[in-house]
Structure 1
Amino acid sequence: MLNISDNKINILSLNKYDTVKNLANRPHYKILNKIIAIVSIAAFFALFLPWTQNIAGIGSVTTLKPNQRPLSIQSVISGRLEKWYVQEGDFVKKGDTIVFISEIKEDYMDPNLVQNTKNQMDAKQQSLESYESKVETLVTQIDAIEQEKVLKLEQAQNKIKQSYLKIKSDSMDLVAVRTQLRIANTQYNRSVELNKEGLKPLTDIEEKRLKLQEVEAKIITQENKFLTTKNELVNSKVEIGRIKAEYAEKSSKANSDKFTALSNQFDTDAQVNKLKNQYANYSIRNGMYYIKASQDGYVNRALQSGIGETIKEGTPIATIMPSKYDIAVETFVNPIDLPLIHKGEKVRVWFDGWPTIIFSGWPDISYGTFGGEIVAIENFISDNGKYRVLIAPDKDEAKWPSQLSIGAGAQTIALLENVPVWFEMWRTLNGFPPNYYKSNMQSKTDKK
């Protein structure tokens, strides 16, 4: 302060009081100082104690397999609720009837729809068998036509051969007749000359002339016979063409009838298959009027109520909780921690409502936690911005409580590396992620 004024300020001294003098001599101040010093030294050494890094997650109890989780019973077809066979809380076995619904579509309201469809199918089946018989008959007819054609052609070929032989025989006869004509003509001329010389009588000339005329008539007949035989040969060749044309027409007509029957057969077969499909669909649809339980379990809730309500295809009717299931825990971790988690790693789990004492950095001294093992890691981020991890009970540790129910809350800790406490405090203050590492199982696999 500036000494502006001449007035002096008397500073009050407390040392003249006995109470103040005795304060410094009290023994508990020394004890407090020793405690502070010991605590400070202990806190300093505690900074070098091992700390287990971990990844915490919050989730809930679920089942290990999808088919063991609560499921909803749905109606495959639309209909109207007619009768309930169960109530909430009932235990049902696989195949037990839950509810009965009636038909509301006009295409399926005929009570004899299945039987009528079956009758139509049987009638078409008989028609199909008739077409099959007709095709077989036409095939037999075609074979008979082909065989008859072969025989007819063989007969015509034989006739041609006969004609060739007959022509040859007639030609030889014609040559013989012509030879006889020359001889008769020579004998007649010789008789005429001998008659002129007076050596032969006139009667002999007349005989030779008569014989010559007979031979001339005979040669005309033989030539006519020869030409007739040639004409028969031509007719036989023409007959072969006619036979081929005739039986080709018969065979074509039979084949046309066969293909027409085959076309009708295939068309009828398609109709039969269509009717079979309809019959099967109608039979299956009749069984869908009774909605049944798909597995053993308990009826949790009836989602549809009352009688006479109309429901559509795929409408949930009731939910069933399976009676037998393998319990598991689904938890969610931050994306920054996802690379640190691997399938098969050990996890500590504790459940809501179960007495626990948790020391996250010292899991060995925690109480009320249970061992778990990671069995699945979701590769796509969930709606909450985290990744889903599925944890199953560790078979090497104590069993999880049997009192747990599906949907109960759970918390998890995935154990990582052991680091000093001061390092963990420094990492947390700076917002760094835990140390990246590979699990022992993955390291062994990499070595192999």
Structure 2
Amino acid sequence: MLNISNNNKPKQSLAQFKSVRTLESKVHYKILNKIIVGISILGIAMLFLPWTQNISGSGAVTTLKPNQRPQSIQSVISGRIEKWYVQEGDFVQKGDTILFISEIKEDYMDPNLVQNTKNQVDAKKSAVNSYESKVESLENQLKAIEAEKNLKLEQAYNKIKQAHLKIKSDSIDLVAAHTQLKIATTQFNRAIKLNSEGLKPLTDVEEKKLKLQETEAKIINQENKLLTSKNDLINAKVEINRIKAEYAEKVSKSQSDKFTALSSQYDTKAQVRKLENQYANYSIRNDMYYIKAAQSGYINRALQSGIGETVKEGTAIVTIMPAAYEIAVETYVDPIDLPLIHRGEKVRVWFDGWPTIVFTGWPDISYGTFGGTIVAIENFISPNGKYRVLIAPDKEEAKWPKELSIGSGAQTLALLDTVPIWFEIWRILNGFPPNYYKQETLTTKEKK
């Protein structure tokens, strides 16, 4: 600087002030300066101490499996409370009766409803057996009709054969008669000739003439027989058609009766199935009057009370806490911390009501915390604006207290990277997330 400006003034010493001179003359002022300097040096040194970054969360004690959590027992059907078999705090085994309710729907109030339905089922089954017997009888009738038809047709075909043979026989007889006519005519003509020559008497001529007339009459009779035989053949053929038509009608009627019986049988079977379904439903409904424990546990709270009160189907009756369960902790973390945690990561847990001394940045010197392992991370945000994380006990560390109650509060601490304290203060002041940290898995060579 050229020191040209008039604004530049020489620096003034603090010693010109009376109060400063008074303090400098005091001994404890020098001691105070040393203390301030020492504390400042110590504070600066502490800024370089290691600090373990972490993700803190708060939650409650729960169970690892859904079927081990407290549950409510509902009434499957509507009814009226008649009798209680338990009270709050009682231990019940699986299948023990908790409550008895009575029926309130008019469709099921018949005390003999199950037995009456069973009787209906038995009656319908008997009807099915009767229809089966009827169908069997009609099938036997059809077989008998078919056998009789075959015999009748065989008899008719035999008559046709007989008619053919009779026609053939009559035809031969007719041919023989014509031959006899020729012979009689020849003999008659010869007798006339011999009579005219005087070699035969007139009586011989008359005999030959009579024989000729008899032969002509025999031809007419034989032709009549032949026509009769042909007519018998036609009648035999007509009889076959009549037999077929008659037995076709009988078969059709029997088959119609059979199909009607089968239809009634199938309809009755359908009614039997429906009644059996109703019978099973009524039997099951009778068992539902006794509300039983789904698993062994303790009765926590009776949600319904009194005698004579009505409950609707699906109404919760009591809550039960299972006797055997695997304990776990459900905690909630901020969305900004969710990418920093993963399944299998180790966390520290401490419970409400248990003495603890926790140093979040120095977990090694904390007291009263227990080890845990993340087993599930919810991918959908909860109503409280955080993500739910499920933590199970770490098998490699000390067991969690047996006296823990489901629902009691718990605090969690997920350990991340180790950084200096000054870096952590700078991160918090700037609102940056913790460093991403993932536990490295040593290879086999590195382990050796």
Question: TM-score with structure 2 length normalisation?
Answer: 0.89
Structure 2 CA distance for aligned equivalents of residues 303 and 250 of structure 1: 73
Structure 1 CA distance for aligned equivalents of residues 29 and 374 of structure 2: 60
Structure 2 CA distance for aligned equivalents of residues 432 and 246 of structure 1: 105
Q: CA deviation at 1:276?
A: 1.2
Indicate if the aligned counterparts of 1:354 and 1:368 stay in contact, CA closer than 8 A: yes
Structure 2 CA distance for aligned equivalents of residues 288 and 171 of structure 1: 95
- Point out the more displaced range, 198-207 or 322-331: 198-207
Aligned to 1:258: 258
Q: CA deviation at 1:411?
A: 1.4
Matches within 5 A, 1:71-220: 71-220=71-220
Q: CA deviation at 1:168?
A: 1.8
Aligned to 1:14: 18
Q: CA deviation at 1:205?
A: 1.4
2:45 maps to 1:42? yes
Structure 2 CA distance for aligned equivalents of residues 113 and 32 of structure 1: 96
Aligned to 1:301: 301
Structure 1's 420 and 15: CA in aligned 2 closer, same or farther, altered over 3 A? closer
2:68 maps to 1:68? yes
Structure 2 CA distance for aligned equivalents of residues 380 and 440 of structure 1: 28
Aligned to 1:384: 384
Structure 2 CA distance for aligned equivalents of residues 272 and 255 of structure 1: 25
Q: Deviations over 1:207-228 (max 9, x none)?
A: 2112111211111111111111
Structure 1 CA distance for aligned equivalents of residues 195 and 147 of structure 2: 71
Q: Secondary structure at the match of 1:375?
A: strand
Indicate if the aligned counterparts of 1:342 and 1:439 stay in contact, CA closer than 8 A: no
Structure 2 CA distance for aligned equivalents of residues 428 and 15 of structure 1: 41
Structure 1 CA distance for aligned equivalents of residues 270 and 261 of structure 2: 14
Q: Deviations over 1:38-65 (max 9, x none)?
A: 315513532xx3x433322211101111
Amino acid at match of 2:296: D
Amino acid at match of 1:23: K
Indicate if the aligned counterparts of 2:74 and 2:318 stay in contact, CA closer than 8 A: yes
Q: CA deviation at 1:247?
A: 0.8
- Point out the more displaced range, 410-419 or 243-252: 410-419
Amino acid at match of 2:222: Q
Structure 1 CA distance for aligned equivalents of residues 439 and 137 of structure 2: 79
Structure 2 CA distance for aligned equivalents of residues 202 and 88 of structure 1: 149
Q: CA deviation at 1:154?
A: 2.0
Indicate if the aligned counterparts of 1:166 and 1:229 stay in contact, CA closer than 8 A: yes
Q: Secondary structure at the match of 2:204?
A: helix
Indicate if the aligned counterparts of 2:48 and 2:420 stay in contact, CA closer than 8 A: no
Q: CA deviation at 1:260?
A: 1.0
Q: CA deviation at 1:306?
A: 1.3
Structure 2 CA distance for aligned equivalents of residues 423 and 284 of structure 1: 69
2:403 maps to 1:400? no
Structure 1 CA distance for aligned equivalents of residues 297 and 17 of structure 2: 87
Q: CA deviation at 1:297?
A: 0.9
Structure 2 CA distance for aligned equivalents of residues 437 and 248 of structure 1: 94
Amino acid at match of 2:244: K
Amino acid at match of 1:183: I
Query: Structure 2 unaligned runs (5+)?
Result: 1-14
Structure 1 CA distance for aligned equivalents of residues 94 and 151 of structure 2: 73
- Point out the more displaced range, 392-401 or 166-175: 166-175
- The RMSD of aligned alpha carbons is 2.5
Aligned to 1:239: 239
Amino acid at match of 2:240: I
Structure 1 CA distance for aligned equivalents of residues 195 and 275 of structure 2: 110
Structure 1's 25 and 117: CA in aligned 2 closer, same or farther, altered over 3 A? closer
Q: CA deviation at 1:30?
A: 6.2
Q: CA deviation at 1:433?
A: 2.5
Aligned to 2:353: 353
Indicate if the aligned counterparts of 1:163 and 1:230 stay in contact, CA closer than 8 A: yes
Q: CA deviation at 1:252?
A: 0.7
Q: Deviations over 1:226-272 (max 9, x none)?
A: 11111111111111111111111111111111111111111111211
Q: Deviations over 1:283-322 (max 9, x none)?
A: 1111111111111111111111111111111111111111
Structure 1 CA distance for aligned equivalents of residues 47 and 92 of structure 2: 64
Structure 1's 275 and 413: CA in aligned 2 closer, same or farther, altered over 3 A? same
Amino acid at match of 2:38: I
Q: Deviations over 1:367-422 (max 9, x none)?
A: 22211122222222222122222111111211111010000011112233344444
- Point out the more displaced range, 360-369 or 85-94: 360-369
Structure 1's 14 and 308: CA in aligned 2 closer, same or farther, altered over 3 A? same
Match 1:23 to one of 13, 23, 26: 26
Q: CA deviation at 1:26?
A: 6.5
Amino acid at match of 1:336: I
- Point out the more displaced range, 180-189 or 251-260: 180-189
Q: Secondary structure at the match of 2:164?
A: helix
Q: CA deviation at 1:24?
A: 7.0
Structure 2 CA distance for aligned equivalents of residues 281 and 165 of structure 1: 76
Structure 2 CA distance for aligned equivalents of residues 56 and 305 of structure 1: 43
Aligned to 1:5: none
Structure 1 CA distance for aligned equivalents of residues 402 and 20 of structure 2: 75
Q: CA deviation at 1:280?
A: 1.4
Structure 1's 140 and 439: CA in aligned 2 closer, same or farther, altered over 3 A? farther
Indicate if the aligned counterparts of 2:63 and 2:406 stay in contact, CA closer than 8 A: yes
Identity of aligned residues (%): 74
Structure 1 CA distance for aligned equivalents of residues 19 and 414 of structure 2: 62
Between the two proteins, the alignment pairs up a number of residues equal to 430
